[in-house]
């Protein structure tokens, strides 16, 4: 009996989601948001030179090598990963790879840089989707503001995809029909990331470490294997190499910070901070890609931000407790 007890594995230490650790985790989530604001612009520039799959493989190859180096140097990280729940490692790992692949394909398949801005805003529906899923899967309490907030965010994207002129369902369908693959990939990527974030909180919330150091190299391997089956320009230059390295390092830092925020931070507050990501990303893309967007895109961006903010105010970070008292 005593020998059997000694052989039982020691449970992974868990971090209470309160106090200084929670504050640092939440701050890290905001850091990830700032780093992500440059992703769409640099990813498009790199995709134009290398092709979308090769660009993604280069970026995640850099991030994956940093992850493996960190795992090699820190035995504690390897031990923590071994104790992570299997459903988190497999389920969230698959969603992680799907998001990265679909996002880069959507950006690369955009017919022009104007469509890149539209796909970027479509991708940034994920904060609203994350809040909706937190109510459904994490049993967060919500007020009726959730419905107009979600509707306003969707109307903002609708306005963007109709170019603000002749705003109608027919115009929307025609515009989507010009490049359905890119738009559908962008929307699927948004849904995948929202689900990944919520399931990370559900399955690995409070864990001392996450699986990003494992997910990144796995993503790189998957993308590299896909590269062998596609024909892309792959025009390497000093600029493309520099962009791949910088975006790879930023990617590693951003996803590590985000994973920590989802496990140990204030999920609802971080989701609220992310409501400004569409604006920051659009500004960065306009400057980096030298695109001049029309007024419809800015109005749609503002509606998306306002809708996400309303949705955030409707959802409580505590299970079963509304963020606002019922009047």
* Cα first-last separation, the chain: 58
Query: What does the alpha-carbon distance between residue 133 and residue 260 come to, in Å, rounded to a whole number?
Result: 19
Q: What angle do CA 33, 50, 47 make, to 5 degrees?
A: 35
Which has more pLDDT, 151 or 313? 151
Query: For 52-95, what is each residue's pLDDT tens digit?
Result: 999 999 999 999 999 999 888 888 778 888 888 999 999 999 99
Confidence (pLDDT) at 302: 92
In this prediction, residue 248 has a pLDDT band, given cuts at 50, 70 and 90, of very high
Confidence (pLDDT) at 22: 85
Confidence (pLDDT) at 196: 93
**Is pLDDT at 168 greater than 90 in this prediction?**
no
Phi, psi of 224 (to 5 degrees): -65, -40
Q: Report residue 281 as tokens.
A: 């990303």
**Is pLDDT at 3 greater than 60 in this prediction?**
no
Burial (CB count <10 Å: 0-12, 13-18, 19+), residue 31:
middle
In this prediction, residue 103 has a pLDDT band, given cuts at 50, 70 and 90, of very high
How much is the average pLDDT of 118-140? 89
How much is the average pLDDT of 160-171? 72
Which has more pLDDT, 262 or 90? 90
Phi, psi of 228 (to 5 degrees): -65, -20
What single-letter DSSP state applies at residue 162?
T
Which H/E stretch holds residue 317? strand 315-319
């Amino acid at each position: 009996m005593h020998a059997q007890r000694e052989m039982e594995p020691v449970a992974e230490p868990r971090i209470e989601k309160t106090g200084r650790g929670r504050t640092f985790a939440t701050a890290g989530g905001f850091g990830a948001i700032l780093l992500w604001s440059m992703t769409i612009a640099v990813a498009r520039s790199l995709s134009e030179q290398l092709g979308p799959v090769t660009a993604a493989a280069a970026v995640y190859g850099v991030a994956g090598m940093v992850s493996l180096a960190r795992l090699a140097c820190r035995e504690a990280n390897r031990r923590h990963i071994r104790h992570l729940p299997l459903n988190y490692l497999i389920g969230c790992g698959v969603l992680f790879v799907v998001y990265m692949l679909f996002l880069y394909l959507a950006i690369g398949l955009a017919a022009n840089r104007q469509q890149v801005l539209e796909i970027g805003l479509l991708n940034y529906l994920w904060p609203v989707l994350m809040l909706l899923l937190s109510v459904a899967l994490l049993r967060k309490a919500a007020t009726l503001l959730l419905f107009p907030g979600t509707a306003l965010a969707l109307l903002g994207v609708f306005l963007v995809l109709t170019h603000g002129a002749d705003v109608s369902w027919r115009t929307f369908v025609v515009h989507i029909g010009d490049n359905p693959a890119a738009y559908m990939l962008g929307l699927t990527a948004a849904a995948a990331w929202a689900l990944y974030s919520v399931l990370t909180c559900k399955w690995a919330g409070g864990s001392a470490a996450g699986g990003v150091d494992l997910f990144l190299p796995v993503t790189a391997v998957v993308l590299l294997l896909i590269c062998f089956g596609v024909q892309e320009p792959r025009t390497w230059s000093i600029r493309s190499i520099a962009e791949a390295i910088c975006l790879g390092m930023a990617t590693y830092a951003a996803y590590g910070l985000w994973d920590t925020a989802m496990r140990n931070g204030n999920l609802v507050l971080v989701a609220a901070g992310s409501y400004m990501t569409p604006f920051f990303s659009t500004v960065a893309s306009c400057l980096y890609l030298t695109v001049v967007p029309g007024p419809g895109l800015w109005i749609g961006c503002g509606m998306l931000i306002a809708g996400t903010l309303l949705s955030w105010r409707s959802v409580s970070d505590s299970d079963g407790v509304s963020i606002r008292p019922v009047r």
